[in-house]
Amino acid sequence: MKAELIPFLMLLPFMLLFIYAGIREYQRYQTEGRAKYGLVYDEETGTTHVTGIAQDQEGYDPTEFDPGDHNERQTGSETDDDRT
């Protein structure tokens, strides 16, 4: 096997995946129109992920997030009976 073939074979799955994702996005664009993607925050898990959001909504801005506020909401809902 030639040495030039090994890197090509290693990159081939990634190239195919990139092409497949491009085709799927083009098909989605043809059926649904333009999409808006943004960062969405899940309060239950405290994590964020990128997903499609509605045109009238804004994405999650991490600079406006206060982790102390999230922790206070979790502990603030507990009563003395819950802790025992």
pLDDT tens profile 20-41: 999 998 998 898 777 777 787 7
| CA 17 – CA 24 distance, rounded (Å) | 10
In one-letter notation, the amino acid at residue 47 is T
Residue-range domain boundaries for the chain = 1-33, 35-84
Can you tell me which residue has the tokens 């995946």? Answer: 17
Q: How far are the Cα atoms of 36, 69, 77, 83 from residue 80, in angstroms, in the given order?
A: 45, 20, 10, 5
Per cent of the chain over pLDDT 70 is 65
How far from chain centre, in Å, is Cα 60? 11
* Tens digits of pLDDT across the chain (84 residues): 788 899 999 999 999 999 999 999 899 889 877 777 778 777 788 788 777 777 676 766 667 766 566 555 555 555 555 555
